[in-house]
A and B are shown apart, each in its own frame.
Chain A
Amino acid sequence: MGLQSFIAERKKVKDLLVMAHVVCGYPSFEDNLKELEIMAEAGVDVVELQFPFSEPSADGPLFVHANEQSLKSGTTVDQCFELMAQVSARFPFKVLMMGYYNTAFKMGEDVFIKRLKAAGGVGFILPDLPIEEAGSLHALAAEAGIEPIILMTPTSSDKRLAKLGAASRGLVYAVARKGVTGSKTNMGDDVIGLIDRCRQHTEVPIGVGFGIGCKQDMDFLRGHADMAIIGTAALKIWEHSGADGLRAFFKEMMA
């Protein structure tokens, strides 16, 4: 089942889906599996596995540190795909690759799509690959039934949103605010306005990410977004209060 129909199925039983995030190999692959197990138990719907990159310029301090430490401990692309294969076979959630374009470019776009498909991934998020540069990769993805996740942002003009909408497949990632991952977002009319504007330009479901970290954020998004994307907040909890903390966090977020 492709990402979009998977989301449609899930939406029949819950009104706000959840996407969670781990950085492969940080703090370790063992920890990743423990985190993912908790996420699966909590009923997380989609998980993005971030392949670490040495220049993560769209990420905030916590993920920058995670990327750096993961690479320092020797994480390879092979290991990331292995993790992907393992978790997509074992857990009910769908798995996306998240990372930077150079990872895909360096192995070759065709190899990237093949390996992603073979590992059970259903899509990818490459924040530094604008649609103008994505033609060949998106074509390869379409052939393989892999969804490229397009980002829509508060600074995108209507003209731009129309262009992005035309390229969107599976899921749109609406970036709730300017900046990098990890800082707080004030959920308010701006975010609602952004979701409404995105809806005018795409038929695919909309996930909202950047700065989602508490129950109030979830309540706020319910009825507006199709999916809440939780990144930094979960890693922060994992680092401060481990497995029990993370279990409690997702339980509360998804209540």
Chain B
Amino acid sequence: MDIFDFSDGREGYYGDYGGVFLPEILHATIEELLECFRECKADPKFWQEYVALLQNYSGRPTPLTHLENLSRELGGAQIYAKRDDLNHTGSHKVNNVMGQGLLTQRLGKKRVIAETGAGQHGFATATMAARFGFDCKIYMGAVDVARQRPNVFWMENLGAEVIAVEDGQKTLKDAVNECMRDWVTNMADTHYILGTACGPHPFPEMVSWFQSIIGLEAREQILAQTGRLPDRVFACVGGGSNAMGLFQGFIDEPTIELIGCEAGGEGVGSYMHSARLAYDDASVGVAQGYKTYFLQNDEGNMNETHSVAAGLDYIGVNPIFSHLHDTGRVRFEAATDAEVRETLKQTMRTEGLIPALESTHGFVVALKEAATMRKDEIVIVNMSGRGDKDIFTIADALDDAKWKSFIGGKADQYRAEKK
């Protein structure tokens, strides 16, 4: 099944979802991008260059680790983690960003802009821009700037300008709007490095294509290590790029179950979550350039969303997943904030691994289901990002008293230095 074969349907549509809903002024820019992307996708040299760049700069291929302790402790399926946390900058975001960096060169553009929620994508984009020599501006909701200072610190030190967006809820969706506003003004020299498989065509396809490297590697690795393919594959879903990346390695095998794990926040019925497909609160709408399931009210205005993981805290989901949800090819589950905290502790203590809060959502569901499966079954979960560099957020989430007292001491020290 080639989900990107549009010959039977409308270009850029996955079932009823996707499309291009942008102001007319961007029409030519999107056409130019689509044409350039088609050339890149058809050019085997481009993919080779992309893989070489990731190997030499970001440490790919990332390992596939058998989580023997957890598997034994739970007594069910054998659990394997795809270690995209070991990428440079600490998450899978760098895959897409390096790919789009090469594409920006082909487009002949000198400036890049990006939205960021947790800061992972902004961090990766700032890194790429430094490496490629692009001017770089990152838009980030003011609320996220306040809760993710370490990533802002790195972006700025890497030479990017970080703009705190004060509109709307001051989070990821508002940063996306602000990128659109920059792009409609500066499209002549600027490429918009969209960070996930959302937005107008060709972004969902393009981001999925770059991220497919995760699934290609994982498939080879699981075959090499176990001699067979997995039974179930899990990944967290915010916009959905890491999940699309991993799932593409297995989507053509109908017996392999694919499970997308959304942010359940405070749970069903709380309206404080970001579960578009696992819960029943979302409906189909059009915003931010594409048609998909959004968490919105009856009049089409977006609702507030929530997650302990800023990177999953988003109103929409990639249109490919809306389609695969309808067809039943991907099953969607949600992990609550409370479950994420517990699973993170368990994973740290049992395996010595620190998944990002985002990725831990995948672990919650994977561990829950693995425990009910047979010992000779295999599951893979995407460890799409590492948590250790988000120490402030995780210490907060775990409500760590010693950390708080340390920060209090630091604050006193800075205050004293100021005087």
Measured CB to CB, the residues of A under 8 A from B are: 52-58, 60-61, 64-65, 68, 71, 76-77, 100-103, 105-107, 127-130, 132-133, 151-157, 160, 164, 175, 178-180
Contacts and interface: CB of A to CB of B under 8 A. Distances in A.
Contacts of A155: 25-29, 187
Contacts of A58: 23, 180-181, 184
B301 A54 contact: yes
B33 to A, nearest CB: 13
15 contacts: A54-B302, A55-B288, A56-B177, A64-B167, A76-B299, A103-B300, A106-B283, A132-B20, A151-B23, A154-B25, A155-B27, A155-B29, A160-B27, A175-B24, A180-B181
B23 A127 contact: yes
A128 B25 contact: no
B400 interface: no
Contacts of B176: 57
B301 A71 contact: yes
A178 B184 contact: yes
Nearest to A55: B287
Given A53-B301, A54-B302, A106-B299, A164 B184 contact: no
A237 to B, nearest CB: 22
B28 A130 contact: no
Contacts of A179: 181, 184-185
A248 to B, nearest CB: 31
Given A77-B299, A179-B185, 11 more contacts: A53-B301, A58-B180, A60-B181, A64-B177, A128-B21, A130-B24, A153-B24, A153-B25, A155-B25, A155-B26, A156-B27
B256 to A, nearest CB: 35
A60 B178 CA distance: 9
B296 interface: yes
Contact of B185 (A106, A128, A180): A180
Interface in B12-27: 19-27
Interface string B145-170: 00000000000000000000001100
Nearest to B26: A155
A129 B291 CA distance: 11
Contacts of A175: 24-25
> Which interface residue of B19, B167, B289 has the most chain A CB atoms within 10 A?
B167
B63 interface: no
B21 A130 contact: yes
B386 interface: no
> Which interface residue of A57, A60, A127, A129 has the most chain B CB atoms within 10 A?
A57
Contacts of B168: 54-55, 68
B249 interface: no
B203 to A, nearest CB: 14
A180 B300 contact: no
Given A54-B168, A55-B177, A130 B301 contact: no
Nearest to B299: A77
B184 A180 contact: yes
Contacts of B283: 106
B173 interface: yes
B22 A130 contact: yes
B22 A128 contact: yes
Contact of A105 (B20, B184, B285, B298): B285
B23 A101 contact: no
Contacts of A156: 24, 27-28
Interface string B178-208: 0011001111100000000000000000000
The list of the 10 closest CB pairs from A to B, nearest first, reads A106-B300, A102-B300, A179-B185, A54-B301, A57-B180, A57-B177, A153-B25, A54-B302, A151-B24, A155-B28
B130 interface: no
B397 interface: no
